[in-house]
Every structure is written in C-alpha cells, then in structure tokens.
Amino acid sequence: NKQRSSDINGYVALYGFWDKEIDSVDSYVSYEVDSNKLNSFREFITMAKSSGSKVVVIYSPIFLKFQKKQEITMCKDICSLENIPFLDFSKDTVFLKNKYLFKDVVHLNNTGATIFSNLICKKIKQEKQITQYFTLNINLFSVKLKKK
C-alpha cells in the first residue's frame, strides 16, 4: 500500500524516485480488453465533444521500453475515428532517459509530473491554441479522467 498525501485538485504528489534500470518488453502482449473501460472512454469523449469542449487524449510517460502496447493502439484508433488529437508520451526520451523522474515504472514523481505538465501545456498551446479542454490520461489498464 502506498501512503499518499492529500490531493490538490485531484493531483497527488508522489515523492522519491525509481532506482532500477529500465526494463524492456520485446513482444506485443495481447490481453482481454475491459469493455466497461472502453465504453466509458468512448462515452466520455462523446459527452465532452457534445458539450462543446475540445478533447485531447494524452498517454503518459512510462519507464519501460516496448515495441507496441495494445491500449495505445486502441486509443489511437478511437481518437482517429473521433477526429481528436492523441499525444503519446510513452516513448518520450526526456522521460525514458531519466529514471529519477519516476516514482515507479508507471507513475511520475512530483518532479516528473511538473515537467510533464509543463510539456503538455506547451504542446497543446502550440498545436491548437486550446483554452478549454478535457484531458484523458490513459496509463496501462486504468483510465483517469481529469478536467483541466
């Protein structure tokens, strides 16, 4: 069990850092998709778009080298069908080259989260000049919804 400090508008800072080297996954692992999560993802996109919000889907950095991940492919496909931007940071070298930005292989620590948040803000402003948007943060098997 992780001990967490209180959250700040949904954000919970993680402190400390990952002290192991990066792992590699050579093969594409297929697994059964949770249809409830997939339907929730699609419904959230539909509701956000129908309310007039701009939608951007973001896949967070992970400290793992891999060839292909099923959930990334599914997210890209759905975003393509919905004509919304998909920003994939899973293989971003800023993060892959620095284990000290991670609390564990799938969670950025507070320093990494700050760098990532600033990077996302700059990227969104550069691409679309979006002032009101929703972010879907998808990492591994969980879907976290956060209104920005």
pLDDT band at 114 (very low <50, low <70, confident <90, very high): very high
The pLDDT of residue 148 is: 44
pLDDT of residue 131: 39
pTM: 0.73
Residues 6+ apart with CB under 8 A from 54: 128, 130, 132, 133, 134
Residue 144 has pLDDT above 50, yes or no: no
CA distances from 115 to 24, 28, 35, 109, 131 (A): 24, 29, 33, 10, 20
More confident residue, 122 or 31: 122
pLDDT digits (tens, 9 = 90+) for 9-26: 777 888 988 888 877 655
